[in-house]
Structure 1
Amino acid sequence: METANLKEQIMERLENIIDPELGIDIVNLGLIYDVRLEKSGWVEIDLTLTTMGCPLADLITDQIYEELKGLSEVKKVDVKLVWSPAWTTERLSRYARIALGIR
């Protein structure tokens, strides 16, 4: 499978993961900073959270693993929790801004 196509499929799967506090998926919240793919099927995802110490880190990480294990091209997933740059509302998609009432 083409790398761009696989990355698109990964992002679509990540949109299934809803932040339980905000009710919006982690992609539209801007929590996914990067997705790197290796030909071996290894995927590394840089994830941030809206605040340090967020109690949902383990839940969201577990859901990422669960969503991506359904893709046959993905052999291994590593999720890296990153804090730089710090998340801000500027990372919200247009959809998330409307849903949260932010202009």
Structure 2
Amino acid sequence: MTAVSTNTQKYWEALKEVMDPEFPISVVDMGLIYDIQEEDGVIDITMTFTAVGCACTEWIQGDIEKRLMEETEIRQVNIEVVWDPPWTVARLSPEARKRMKSWGVSSR
């Protein structure tokens, strides 16, 4: 995961409230968020999805935008979806791995 700067930490925390629709795990803990930058009320998110054909891409992006727009200083959210580096289970946080294991889902 990208190093988190102190000025974007609150946005990382906010995105922990946005859940992946397939697994009730945050997009942060799923490792979908690669980078967050904010300048003058404009926030730029670099992210990926677990698969190119993910049926939830628009839903997740909408939830991300909606949550970040709740921050009073944010006036615009830009989301760039990238496929390089590709998402792998190695991007799951320890918490996500623990939750998946409790559901009987392998996260190797």
TM-score by shorter chain over 0.5: yes
Unaligned runs of 5+ in 1: none
Q: TM-score scaled to structure 1, two decimals?
A: 0.89
Residue deviations 1:9-62, cap 9 Å, x none? 111111111111122110000000000111x11110011100111010000000
Q: Distance in 2 between matches of 1:14 and 1:56?
A: 16
- Residue in structure 2 matched with residue 66 of structure 1 by the alignment: 66
The two structures, once aligned, show a CA RMSD in angstroms of 1.3
Matched residue of 1:24: which SS?
Answer: coil
- Residue in structure 2 matched with residue 83 of structure 1 by the alignment: 83
Residue correspondences, number? 99
Unaligned runs of 5+ in 2: 102-106
Identity of aligned residues (%): 36
Q: TM-score scaled to structure 2, two decimals?
A: 0.85
1:21-100, aligned counterparts within 5 Å? 21-38=22-39, 40-100=40-100
Q: Distance in 1 between matches of 2:93 and 2:51?
A: 18
Q: Distance in 2 between matches of 1:31 and 1:88?
A: 10
Q: Larger RCO: Structure 1 or Structure 2 (Cα < 8 Å, ≥ 6 residues apart)?
A: 1
- Residue in structure 2 matched with residue 4 of structure 1 by the alignment: 6
Detail structure 1 runs of 4+ shifted over 6 Å in the superposition.
Answer: none
